[in-house]
Homo-oligomer: A and B are copies of this chain.
Amino acid sequence: MVNNRVNRKLRMGMVGGGQGAFIGEVHRIAAQLDNQIELVCGAFSSDAAKSKESGRSLFLPENRVYGSFQEMIERERELPEGERMDFVSIVTPNHVHFGPAMLALESGFHVVLDKPMTFDLAEAKQLKQKVDETGLLFLLTHTYVGYPMVRQARQLVRDGALGKIRKIYVEYPQGWLSREQDNSNKQASWRTDPSKSGKAGCMGDIGTHALHLAEFISGLQTTQLCASLYTYVEGRKLDDDGNVLLQFDNGASGVLIASQVAAGEENALKIRVYGENGGLEWHQQEPNTLQVRWLDKPTQIYRANGAGLSAEAASLCRTPAGHPEGYLEAFANLYKLFANALRAKLSGEEDTGYDFPSVDDGVRGMAFLDNVVNSSESNEKWTPFTV
């Protein structure tokens, strides 16, 4: 079997991520970090000249840099199998997720897509249908579940070490949108523009990460929520802050906090999950540490690539304990898992399941935004979590 394995780097095309973008460069570093994937082509901007310039700075051949995602997908489809891209990575603002993703799937390309998955829930459901129809691989880059210690946290819950889960506190305070921005900050601009971001601002950008992390670690699903969204910076059209009470399907309750006006905070995603026997705590800003406090024995600290890790968590570490890995490596772990699945698929191996955020997670995230916005506008305390 092994001798039939596809023995080459996997070929990635990129939509978006031209000069001045933040997340495109992150995707490129992450995708290529483990030497399993190479960027072979891109439509880096809807402005063809800008796309060309980006391509040049990435040392791509001129003929693989396209002026639009349509052009890229069409032309790549016509290339010989040994040359054309295997998958598309889409790193545009939210309102330009659906178009390229659908076209790529329809054209037989696997897809990597940034979150939140689409502009609205309807698009998300259509996309899911297409993924299901085509059987193509789909990765939604909820970066934070790429961290080894998040996997370790999930394992502790799965193993029942904490006992039945009772409480989940997940918070995601950032401060970078604390002031009115001028237009020079491209990142800030589209994220606060409803025509590009969709109906939620802060909740879409980071609240979805928080919800996904909570459900990923706990294995629970939110059943109802009570949200209160705020816009603290004058003139802003979308929420820049919100507090949400959560109810989970096993009877556990929780709180989700997300803010982009928590002045002074960087990217302080943090989660705590408490069961009958103890609680775990993980901070994204010190991601190589997982703290577990027990009711009846001393607190334990698990460390990335340290003693006592699950096989899964250890498999996502590249360096010996004490050589910190961070955000880019967590991101790279998602691409690594995706590459493994893709290589298996291309090699005709049987599908043994994969463990990265999927189109279903994307639908769930978009449903969260609908529910959270509805709840915020409602006088009822609890809004059911409908998908």
Chain A residues near B (Cβ < 8 Å) = 7-9, 22, 25-26, 28-29, 32-35, 56, 58-59, 162-163, 166-167, 169, 171, 173-176, 178-179, 226, 228, 230, 232, 241, 243, 245, 253-255, 257, 259, 261-268, 272, 274-279, 284-288, 292-303, 306-308, 318-329, 378-382
Counting chain B CB atoms within 10 Å of each CB, the highest count among A59, A284, A380 belongs to A59
A151 to chain B, nearest CB (A): 15
Given A175-B295, A243-B255, residue A328 in contact with residue B320 (CB < 8 A): no
Given A264-B292, A319-B327, residue A253 in contact with residue B230 (CB < 8 A): yes
26 CB-based A-B contacts, threshold 8 Å: A28-B35, A29-B34, A29-B35, A166-B241, A166-B263, A167-B262, A173-B274, A175-B295, A179-B276, A230-B253, A243-B253, A255-B255, A255-B257, A263-B275, A264-B274, A284-B324, A285-B288, A288-B326, A296-B307, A298-B301, A298-B303, A301-B301, A319-B327, A325-B328, A326-B329, A379-B382
Q: Are B262 and A279 in touch, CB under 8 angstroms?
A: yes
Interface of A is mostly: loop
Q: Are B263 and A295 in touch, CB under 8 angstroms?
A: yes
Residue in B167, B174, B232, B381 whose beta carbon sits within 8 Å of that of A322 in the complex: B174
Complex CA distance for A179 and B274, rounded to whole angstroms: 13
**Please, which residue of chain B has its CB at the minimum distance from the CB of A280?**
B264
Complex CA distance for A33 and B34, rounded to whole angstroms: 10
